[in-house]
């Protein structure tokens, strides 16, 4: 899967797993996922996202400190998946 296809799939997984009202096309690669300045997701969403990423991409996130860096944006998630591929 090339870089852009991977990023598109991550957005699709986010929309599907988190039941977001946005479409994948409305989510930019660099928008902040958590907090008020981005998609505004919370800790419950984070847990669902971690489970979804593991299910779809085999990405295992070990702890919450690691998760904060990885789950910053679609781009940081994609970079982590590419690293572990």
Place of tokens 């591929």: 85
- Looking at the predicted structure, is the pLDDT value of residue 85 above 80? no
Could you read off the pLDDT of 50-62 as tens digits, one per residue?
A: 999 999 999 999 8
The class level of CATH for 3-84 reads mainly alpha
Residue pair 81/57 in contact (Cβ under 8 Å)? The answer is: yes
Could you read off the pLDDT of 8-45 as tens digits, one per residue?
A: 999 999 999 999 999 999 999 999 999 888 999 998 99
Residue pair 71/34 in contact (Cβ under 8 Å)? The answer is: yes
Concatenated DSSP letters of 24-76: GGGS-TTS-SBSTTTT-B-HHHHHHHHHHHHHHH-----SHHHHHHHTT-HHH
pTM: 0.92
């Amino acid at each position: 899967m090339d870089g852009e296809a991977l990023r598109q799939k991550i957005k699709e997984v986010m929309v599907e797993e988190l039941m977001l009202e946005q479409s994948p096309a409305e989510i930019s690669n660099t928008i902040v996922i958590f907090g008020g300045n981005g998609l505004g997701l919370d800790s419950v969403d984070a847990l669902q996202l971690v489970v979804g990423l593991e299910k779809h991409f085999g990405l295992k996130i070990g702890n919450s400190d690691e998760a904060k860096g990885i789950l910053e944006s679609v781009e940081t998630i994609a970079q982590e998946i590419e690293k572990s591929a």
